[in-house]
Amino acid sequence: MERILFYIFAVLIVIFAVASVSSRKILRAVIYLLIVLTAVSGLYFLIDYNFLAAIQLTVYGGGVIVLIIFSVLLVHHVELELEITPLKTKIIAAALVVAGLSITLWAILTYPFNTANNYKSIEVDVIGEKLLSYGEGGFILPFEVISVLLFAIMVGAIVIAKGKKLGIKTGEKLE
């Protein structure tokens, strides 16, 4: 059962990722990206990491996709079709990607991984305790760094999207 589900998610991810990077209608490409992100959260559910699956659905499916759709609607006409990429660029990019993919797959498939057998699912309370513990193996420092980063991003996004030079008394706007 889980095997079948995994292959369904894998096929969904690959097909809609290709559609998302090759579709010429930009709004459709965003919706294909949403399907890919949802299928990835399905993968997290299969691994029994429910917390990250919920985070993926809320942050990506709820936040990032809405942001991208808003920016598409603000910047583009809805029916606008993207320019066709030159065939030469496509061929060169595809050749590079296939070469990189084959090297990576060769490296992965020839490496003998020692799979552990004592599997346990990842619970939310363990994650929470680890994130806030400052003892051995705790993650309080990256947690704090991320919080400072989110604050800086918030201020930066507001200042940049406002589009006005701050700190200049004359109040002149950028042309």
Partner 1 sequence: MIEGISIYEILTLTSILFFIGVYGFFTRENLITILMSIELILNAAAVNFVIINTYLFPDFLQGAIFSIFIIALAAAETALAIAIIINLYKLVTSVEVRDTETMKH
Q: Which of residues 108-167 bind partner 1 (CB under 8 A)?
A: 108-109, 113-116, 118-120, 122, 126-127, 130-131, 137, 139, 142, 146, 149-150, 153-154, 156-158, 160-161, 163
43 is a site residue for partner 1 (CB under 8 A) = yes
42 is a site residue for partner 1 (CB under 8 A) = no
| Token reading at 101 | 């993919």
The secondary structure element, H or E, covering residue 174 is none
What contacts 92, CB < 8 A, 6 or more positions away?
Answer: none
CA–CA separation, 75 and 77 (whole Å): 7
The residue type found at 163 is G
12 is a site residue for partner 1 (CB under 8 A) = no
Q: Which of 8, 18, 132, 140 binds partner 1 (CB under 8 A)?
A: 18
Q: How many residues touch partner 1 (CB under 8 A)?
A: 83
In the region spanning residues 46 to 105, those forming contacts with partner 1, defined by CB under 8 A, are 46-49, 52, 55-56, 59-60, 63-64, 67-68, 70-72, 74-76, 82-83, 85, 89-90, 92-94, 96-97, 100-101, 104-105
CB of 135 to partner 1, least distance (A): 14
What contacts 75, CB < 8 A, 6 or more positions away?
Answer: none
Phi and psi dihedrals of 81, rounded to 5?
-105, 140
By three-state DSSP, how is residue 163 classified?
A: coil
Which residue matches tokens 């490296």? 107
Q: Closer to partner 1 at the Cβ: 115 or 170?
A: 115
